Amino acid sequence: MRTGGYGDERYQVGTIMPIVGRIDASTVGQLRDQLHSAVDGGIGVVVLDLSDVEMVDAVGLAMLVAGHSRALRAGRRIVLRGTPPRIARLLHATGLDRVLTAVA
């Protein structure tokens, strides 16, 4: 994880969390722990950089939604950045594009 600025001034970024590979049943435990630490240990928006994510399964989607809920309870937001087109289509097909905020 690294902290720093983000080009869109609408969001005051507290943490940028790059994710590489898969968000699935085999990786979700570690990712959930990292996401909880990012949400609980900082301020501002948590940006999940998905530009190097290959795939997301149902368990991964559930982790993103649970992380979103945790962030809201903490007075924070999660923003998805660099979402690959196939994952953006999955978010749209499941209606999660209305729940999770994605930016370019």
Q: Is residue 7 part of a domain?
A: no
Q: How far is CA 10 from the centre of its chain?
A: 17
Tell me the CATH number at 22: 3.30.750.24
Predicted TM-score (pTM) of this structure: 0.85
Sign of the torsion formed by the C-alpha atoms of 75, 90, 16 and 59: positive
Please report, as a single letter, which amino acid is at residue 39: V
Here the tokens at position 3 are 């902290």
Q: Is residue 41 part of a domain?
A: yes
CB atoms within 10 A of CB 2: 8
Q: Is residue 8 part of a domain?
A: no
Please report, as a single letter, which amino acid is at residue 10: R
Of the CA atoms within 13 Å of residue 40, those in its CB half-sphere come to 6
pLDDT in tens, the chain (104 residues): 333 343 444 456 688 999 999 999 999 999 999 999 999 988 889 999 999 999 999 999 999 999 999 999 999 999 999 999 999 999 999 999 999 999 87
Structural domain total, the chain: 1
- Provide the domain limits for residue 91: 13-103
Q: Is residue 2 part of a domain?
A: no
